Structure 1
């Protein structure tokens, strides 16, 4: 990712806030300052980035923020998926392009961990401690007073990486740095909390009749206490039967894969495939079978397919002809099943180029 590549993405797509935002002097600019309305021949209004207006803002000094860049760039898609498999958390990458003396956001905190990767130019960072333990986006109390605890102050140059834990106050600026611009990426890791687990358990309560009943407004204190005790006992059992690890496993197994181009009709099928589930597929033994959970799907294959399955679910691109020759068996039928179920996709030229230079583990899943 380069500054020119980022601007090319911005100019070739219909992007609007909140995915695309611009900041100047600590304030978010009105979209009307950099978007224009274009009317097509069918008299439909389309809002696009105004190249001339954006160029003027970049010359004056501005911070351009593009969220979820992995949806536009195949290399960042692959990198983000690798981080999801490694961390077992939802990960999104945002790009920040700053020109001139502009600074980005004012001193603030995020409700998720952030890994910053500096790609071009330099930026000065002020990182402070947290002022509320484990703050949340939706919280029981505000978290508006910045911490005075200095954790790190310094300059990031190309290739540097910085980890900002959840809740740590931080601010970045290009105002005092040489060079015309700075570009960095932030990989945000959105972790699950006990609140998320409780919300999931509460949703599971719909399965039980006792929680679907109307609450009574009985006049008798004895009746009210009986109802409370009955619900409390059922709730305690519900919590015991659905521990946090079950919630996390269900979350990984049920999350659908990210958007990808559908497979075109073909007699032969793809020549190469790659696994694209948001989290590494989970594989369990069931007698003489292997059960694969991934991308919101569940499929069962014979145990003898284990070597081919390990390869196809590794997260690495797989040349089906070469792999079939090495394994001494045709793995195309299994690959077609995984593609049909959305666990793998056919490798396009663009996606294939994204894996160049990246190293992935020989095996990304384990059997008990």
Structure 2
């Protein structure tokens, strides 16, 4: 059954995936068994529009063939707009010619400018707690864009249309398989792989998962402790002549570091990292101009709803209600928490039904529309 949950669309049973495959081994999920398709995220007509009609520029797209990038000058043009040169603009005729000759078209950073994938990635990030990105690869029949290689991050491969044969090298040997439309392939970082299109133009999405490691988390805590000026003391003059003479002082500083680490509020440290995650997402502001024009007519009968894909994490803190909206954090009076929770539920809400006085509910709704959490219905 089709679901709008991005992680479920990729892996099915989320808990089973996280327990058995996440960071461990490849996983294949067949669209023929699940009824899944990914053309709502990006289909061939969408690709045609982006490359042929939208004025896309490098590095948002590139062409590769047999593992080598083609020179951008061979498929781009530099027109002038307002008297200024616009470099790297797609030349549709030359792009098509290169594809006819076997080149693979790569669309890069789609999570930044293609709305269906912006929303998809936002949901996937919310489920995993790790930053995600999306590229797409469109390969003509029988061609190979990239030779066998591995990525420095985990990936989900979502086959959108056509088919590709994949060669995957893992600890259990070489896995040879063909992905058909609706199929998903998960590979942990460092998994060597290569793909070749079959008998028709093939398009797949590669969702990269830029995981945060414990090394990064621990380094962040240690770096915060080391920011104290007590660790700015210089090494003694002449230490380089007999390095071991500085051993006692080094041990003393390490003991000081160890003692301070034992006193670190780990919950607070993890909360700070979570705060950075919740405020490091790309904003989703489609219809933002339209919503602003509707604010002039906002009254108690206006209906608002949470913008699809908009992040909203709430936490009560000593300073009030902290509301994390993807790319920023707001601080509000704690007494608006029930109203914010209702507005963030995803269910359409009539402004007059909020349990606040008239002025307060109008101020709150206007603020959350302007901040991008809410959109005005209609």
Aligned-partner Cα distance in 2 for 1:276–1:211: 47
Asked if the contact 1:257–1:276 (Cα under 8 Å) also holds between the matched residues in 2, the reply is no
Contact 2:304 2:376 in 1 (8 A): yes
2:273 equivalent to 1:251: yes
Alignment check: 8 A CA contact 1:90 1:190 kept: yes
Q: Distance in 2 between matches of 1:339 and 1:164?
A: 39
The structural deviation recorded for 1:306 is 3.8
User: CA offset at residue 319 of structure 1?
Assistant: 3.6
Paired position in structure 1 for 2:342: 311
TM superposition shift of 1:45: 4.4
> Quick check: 1:210–1:231 contact (8 Å CA) kept in 2?
no
CA contact (8 A) 1:107 1:170 kept: yes
- For 1:106, the equivalent position in structure 2 comes to 147
Q: What does residue range 35-74 of structure 1 map to in structure 2 within 5 Å?
A: 35-40=76-81, 42-74=83-115
CA–CA separation in structure 1 for the residues paired with 2:274 and 2:55: 31
Q: For 1:223 and 1:155, how far apart are their aligned partners in 2?
A: 63
Equivalence map 1:84-123=2 (5 Å): 84-123=125-164
Alpha-carbon offset, residue 36 of structure 1: 1.4
Question: Aligned to 2:366, what secondary structure does the other structure show?
Answer: helix
Structure 2 CA distance for partners of 1:197 and 1:44, relative to 1, 3 Å: same
Aligned residue among 15, 20, 24 for 2:57: 15
Task: Tell me how far 1:154 sits from its aligned partner.
Answer: 0.9
Q: Which residue of 2 aligns with 1:190?
A: 210
Q: Where do 5+ consecutive residues of structure 2 fail to align?
A: 1-41
Summarize the Cα distance change of 1:79–1:296 in structure 2 as closer, same or farther, 3 Å threshold: same
**Which residue does the alignment assign to 1:178?**
199
Q: Matches of 2:110 and 2:125 in 1, distance apart?
A: 15
For 1:252 and 1:339, how far apart are their aligned partners in 2?
24
Q: 1:210 to 1:105 in 2, by over 3 A?
A: same
Match of 2:75 among 29, 34, 43: 34
Find the residue that maps to 2:296 and give its secondary structure.
coil
Instruction: Return the alpha-carbon distance in structure 1 between the equivalents of residues 304 and 363 of structure 2.
Output: 13
Contact 1:281 1:313 (C-alpha < 8 Å) held by counterparts: no
Moved more, 225-234 or 79-88: 225-234
Q: Is the 8 A contact 1:59 1:100 kept in 2?
A: no
Q: State yes or no: 1:209 paired with 2:239.
A: no
Task: Return the alpha-carbon distance in structure 1 between the equivalents of residues 98 and 192 of structure 2.
Answer: 28
The answer as to whether partners of 1:335 and 1:344 remain within 8 angstroms in 2 is no
**2-structure distance, mates of 1:189, 1:69:** 14
**Deviations for 1:106-153, whole angstroms, at most 9, x for unmatched residues?**
1111121111111100111111216xxxxxxxxxxxxxxxxx822x32
Matched, 1:160 2:183: yes
Displacement of 1:339: 4.3
TM-score by length of structure 1 reads: 0.74
Give the 3 Å change call, closer, same or farther, for CA 81–249 of structure 1 in structure 2.
Answer: same
Number of equivalent positions = 321
For 1:272, which of 273, 283, 304 is the aligned residue?
304
How far off is 1:310 after superposition? 2.2
Name the SS for the 1:103 alignment partner. Answer: coil
Larger helix fraction of residues: 2
How far the C-alpha of 1:26 sits from its partner, in A, is 2.1
User: Structure 1: where are the runs of 5+ without partners?
Assistant: 131-147, 350-368
Q: Given the superposition, is the C-alpha separation of residues 29 and 221 from structure 1 closer, same or farther in structure 2, using an over 3 Å criterion?
A: closer
Whole-Å separation in 2 of the counterparts to 1:275 and 1:242: 38
